[in-house]
A and B are shown apart, each in its own frame.
Chain A
Amino acid sequence: MNTQSRQTVLRILLPAMAIGALYIWAIGGPKNKETVAAEKKLDRLAKQVGEDGELILVERQLKRVKDREQTLGQDERLVVKETMVRPALESTLPEVVRELTALITKHDLIITQDGKPDRTIGATLPEYLMPIDVAIARSVAKTDADTPSTKAQLWQVEFVGTYDDVSRLMSALAESNLSVHPVSLNMANASVDSRERGWTLLVWI
């Protein structure tokens, strides 16, 4: 290439080279830096976050934990519900009274009177007959139709019989599954000519 050719080529190429250099300096270079930075950030994130599988694993883990939590919640309700089996349902009160009466008479005792007592001195509902967790018990009672009522009531039975018979009655009552919880037992003075005496049994049913 002779000098003239070289000059011609330079005259053609120099403006283009200037444009190229200006582009690289003002636009291409900064843009390239931005792009490289964005791609580095992407690489870093890709290393940190990993593939879609990780999210799926975490979501599965969450589902398992939620299922476990739900199961535990149901267990809790069941446990609380179990504590509410006593006293009996109101609808079964007559049945309990009938069984109690049968148990008394079975021990050769003569019932003279029974019914709700006129007064309940100091006979507050014992803790073991109260709901174990009022909030959960209310929730259980709201949602479960067969949940036993927490309303217990006092029942008083007056009868006549010997000490031994009453002792056996109380033993039988303790060992029975009857939803009857003795509160107090009054024993009257014995009569002179008989071993029998009057008794008053107060229970929660």
Chain B
Amino acid sequence: MSQPALSILFITPDRIARADFSGGSRPKLRDLWHEETAAEDPIMATETALYLGSKAGKKVYVLSTDVWTQTIELPARSVDGLDGEQLNQALSFEIEPISGISSTDSLVGHAALNKSGPQRRYWVSQSSANEVNQIDDAIRRVGSKLAGVLHPAGLSSIGGKHDQARIELWQSTIAGIAPADIDVAATDPRLTDWQASLHEWRGRQISSFEKMAVSDAVVGQNETDWKLLSDESVLAQWLTGCAVALTKSESLPLIKPAQRAMAAKSLGVATLLVCAAVIATCITHFLWLDARRSQADSLSKTLEDRAKKIQSTQKQIEATRKKAKATEDRIAAIREKVEKREAVRNAHRARWSVLMDLLATKSPVDLAVQNIEGRGYNARIRGVCLRPELANELAASLNHELIRLGWRVQPPTKEALQLVGDGGPWNFELTLEDVPISGKSGHASPSKDAVAGTGGVR
């Protein structure tokens, strides 16, 4: 059989009971054990109740009449702004004179009954911290967990209606519950005129009451119509209602066990786990950084390679441009050279024609050219003239025209033949020396019209 989700241990001075419930929002009673007992020690009673049946529920609530409980009022200004733990401490000081339990050695649970007005009403429970801790230990030993300890007063009606108007009588507590109101007093009903309170309630025109008592011992002998928890069926119904109220986490003055210091082994495990988590985080962080670094390095290398390639390409461009410029310069130089050579070639092709024209037209009348002799690119002209200056005139005329065609005419040599009285006639010899031609000035064809003369070739 599986472990129940919830167990309620009900402990009074003369009776103990244990009820196991299934889980869910509306717990169902699975088992109920109860027996009369005379155990005065709540710890022992708890241990006895735990072993009434098989394994107790995962969560265990202890409803003990040994817990002190009462509703109290406090000025709002003294409690406003306090959180739950601080309020418990404040309440423990407030109730210490009433409950007689030391505030420093007790645990308190509270439920706020109003949240406005000058006075605050609280439903407070208080128990010895030592007792609660021992109860907690006992429950832990059976593998369960103590969910809380509280007095059973005001927890539930018999029918399970939490706000059913009713009056509850417990060994040392009286509780009057009206819709949206609860009044709990830590007092023995046998010593109190609780009937007066009942009349007062009737004055509030509350039509129907449920009268519930823990046993007939706390009810007066003349009283009738009381539902007693000593009756098993009543007890079962009431405990089911309690289970519902506890599961719904309604506003109840639940005393929770003090947090235990973690066991050394658990502490070690927790420390190891946190350290492992931190180490894992560190490793993850390191790997993340490393991945970023690697990615950045990889991209940087790509960019560096690209930069080198661009630089190398730009150098190639520069070198190729220089090469192209050099080629352009060479082409220009070749073209210039070609132009000059064309001029020289044209001059050389034309100069014989020009020479013959000049000899035919520029030769003086008294001068005759007898022969022409080419010596390589030089030329020699021989002839005869009546006066020596005529040869000079011819030389000057020829030189003027032929120098541009690459012939420089040397001064003529003359030899008198002594055939007449003035020594004449004279033989002469002109040498045309081949000289370099300036390309720009060496035009091929000097105008033949420019030459005119009367001499000739004999």
Contact = CB atoms under 8 A, between A and B. Distances in A.
Q: Which of B261, B372, B373, B458 neighbours the largest number of chain A CB atoms within 10 Å of its CB?
A: B372
B374 interface: yes
A17 B279 CA distance: 10
A186 B328 CA distance: 45
Contacts of B304: 45
Interface residues of B, number: 74
Given A19-B275, A55-B309, A183-B377, A68 B324 contact: yes
A144 interface: no
B217 interface: no
A14 B418 CA distance: 143
A12 B271 contact: yes
A65 B314 CA distance: 11
A143 interface: no
Contacts of A11: 267, 271
Interface in B325-362: 327-328, 330-331, 334-335, 337-338, 341-342, 344-346, 348-350, 352-353, 356-357, 360
A38 interface: yes
A38 B296 CA distance: 6
A16 B275 contact: yes
Interface string A21-48: 0010001100110110011011001101
Contact of B350 (A79, A133, A174, A189): A174
B372 A61 contact: no
A62 B323 CA distance: 13
B444 interface: yes
B320 A62 contact: yes
Contacts of B374: 183-186, 200, 202
A39 B292 contact: yes
A39 B296 CA distance: 6
Interface in A51-105: 52, 54-55, 58-59, 61-62, 65-66, 68-69, 72-73, 75-76, 79-80, 82-83, 86
Interface residues of A, number: 78
Nearest to B327: A72
A128 B313 contact: no
A132 B271 contact: no
B351 to A, nearest CB: 8
A48 B377 CA distance: 68
B296 A173 contact: no
A7 B261 CA distance: 9
Contacts of B299: 42, 46
Nearest to B360: A167
Given A20-B282, A69-B320, A127 B261 contact: no
- The list of the 9 closest CB pairs from A to B, nearest first, reads A184-B374, A122-B376, A187-B372, A38-B296, A128-B341, A170-B353, A167-B356, A45-B303, A16-B278
